[in-house]
Amino acid sequence: MRSLLMRQILFCQKRSLCSSINSERPRVRFAPSPTGYLHLGGLRTALYNYLFAKSRGGDFILRIEDTDQTRKVEGAVEALKTDLEWAGIECAEGPGFNGQYGPYVQSERLDFYQEHISTLLENGSAYKCFCTERRLNILRRDAVKSQRVPKYDNRCRNLTHEEINEKMNAGIPHCIRFKLTSDCQYFDDLIFGGIAYDVSINEGDPVLMKSDGFPTYHFANVVDDHLMKITHVLRGVEWQISTTKHLLIYKAFGWQPPQFGHMPLIVNSDGTKLSKRQSDVKVEDYRNNGIYPLALVNYITLSGGGFDHVPGAGVRIKTIDDLAEEFQIDKISSHPSRLNPDLLEECNRLEIKRQLQDNDLSKTLVTNLKNLITKTYPKHNLNLSEDHVKTVLDWSVSRISRIEELVSKKFGFLWILPKAKTEVDQVLLAKLVTNLENLEKFDQNTLKDNLRSFSSNNGVKFPALMKMLRGVLSGLDEGPGVAEMMDLLGKSQSLERIKAVVR
């Protein structure tokens, strides 16, 4: 059905140059429904709106579209605000923020919708519809049976004043519908280029106000974007099909519409649709799984476009300010945005690296890792000095992408004494202790050379010595190189571990 509708959209011309972007100071909005939590797609919409506003000195507004009260989820608004704040997206206006165009929650704006629906009823662009749910179901069923696009047959459009009064007096519930004209609307999509579409071909007159007095999305969205002085609407491509309908509503009011840009679908790296599991990944889950906000934000921009691509420049973590400065809406491609999960890991790794280079951020990172260690290994028995933890972090950035990995089994030896499980040659190791005690430098390279000559001087094969030592030092069969491990643990801790098995 959807592809059938899409085929009737005329893509008139390639995207025009960015000079056609309305140059007034932007007021953009992110308008989620509080039906759940913020997911990657929602974050992308919010982020691109924010970058667009910030890059042009404008405002980002949060509006909650809760006209479908049945789908409302308790606590969702607060969670959304937490997620946006975590991601570094600042709301200039919105529920709980300042702003002179509030309230910013649609269920608190019913009076505005009532007032504006009267305007459309009075100027003849809208009408009362008394059709029952039963009649509408029959229309739908008949259309499906005869393979037609199901649409309302606009029957109540032609009711006389007397008929309307009669039904009103009889207390028959009614909704309010918009009179669609077959006037093909055209708009210049900031991302997709020129689009023209005659909505009335595929749709019957849409409902603007439901019988419970709540507006539908289409109506509330137009009224609010106008009243809140929104200049640019950037939203997901799934709403593109509705835009010409919205334009008709603007026209019925005699209002100037904002400019529209629709962001392409987000898909897997192979171009397939995101699985339910992936598209359902909440921003909160990323946060709880050790992903940093800037890493997630950069990951989104890497997949979503909007920036000059410097070939061979590799991945670089940019701050929100950098991103806003470099953002160019005309660089967003209309092709689906392909996600590459490896890039998320790379972004997070680079973000850890960036934080380690900053004094304050690195202190927080050390504290967080210490907390993780004490939580994971309540009986940790090793050195947790700031310096040591920082050394481990510096060492780890080329190996890990989340600090949680540092408390996994693989790196547990860094924080607790291992249970050695290898058979050891006590005589040989006793000799090794003396040899190591005499070492002045205890860095990786010195150790590597020293262990090599120790193995040949003592007639033991190097790999066998390494295997034995690895077991003694970490209790593991695999992991970082032995010299590297000793360097990390430091001289006294390494010697202590070897001595423990010699005794």
The residues annotated with a catalytic role in the active site are 276
Q: Name which of 42 and 204 has its Cβ closer to ligand GLU.
A: 42
Q: Tokens in use for 241?
A: 């099909």
List the 27-30 sheet strands across, edge first: 59-62, 27-30, 232-236, 259-263
What minimum distance in Å lies between the beta carbon of 65 and ligand GLU? 4
C-alpha of 372 from chain center: 25
Q: Least distance (Å) from ligand GLU to the CB of residue 45?
A: 7
DSSP 204-270: -PPEEE-TTSPBPHHHHHHHHHHHTT--EEEEEGGGHHHHHHHHHHHHHHTPPP-EEEEEPPEE-TT
Angle between helices 426-437 and 462-474 (to 10 degrees): 80
Q: Are 196 and 9 in contact (CB under 8 A)?
A: yes
Token pair belonging to 69: 């009260």
Strands 185-189 and 193-197: what pairing?
A: antiparallel
Name the minimum Å distance from CB 348 to ligand GLU: 28
Radius of gyration of the chain (CA): 32
Any idea what DSSP says for residue 53?
A: H
Residue 300 CB, nearest approach to ligand GLU (Å): 17
The DSSP call for residue 236 is: E
- Asked whether 112 and 227 are in contact (CB, 8 A), the reply is yes
Residue whose CB is less far from ligand GLU, 217 or 395: 217
Closest distance to ligand GLU from the beta carbon of 26 (Å): 15
Where is 30: in which H helix or E strand? strand 27-30
Burial tier of 122 (Cβ tally within 10 Å: 0-12, 13-18, 19+): exposed
**At its nearest, how many Å lie between ligand GLU and the CB of residue 217?**
6
Q: Are 330 and 358 in contact (CB under 8 A)?
A: no
Q: Which of 48, 15, 36, 12 is nearest to 323 (CA)?
A: 48
Q: 3-state class of 502 per DSSP?
A: helix
User: Please, which residue, 217 or 377, has the CB nearer to ligand GLU?
Assistant: 217
Q: List the beta strands (DSSP E) in 31-151.
A: 59-62, 126-129
Beta carbon of residue 87, minimum distance to ligand GLU (angstroms, whole number): 17
> Which one-letter amino acid corresponds to residue 383?
N
What does the binding site for ligand GLU look like in residue numbers (CB under 6 A)? 31-33, 65, 217, 221, 235, 239
SS3 assignment, position 28: strand
Specify whether the CB–CB gap between 201 and 87 falls below 8 A.
no
Minimum Å gap between C-beta 494 and ligand GLU is 57
Q: Which is nearer to ligand GLU, 66 or 487 (CB)?
A: 66
CA–CA separation, 382 and 385 (whole Å): 9
Q: Which is nearer to ligand GLU, 177 or 235 (CB)?
A: 235
User: Which is nearer to ligand GLU, 262 or 380 (by Cβ)?
Assistant: 262
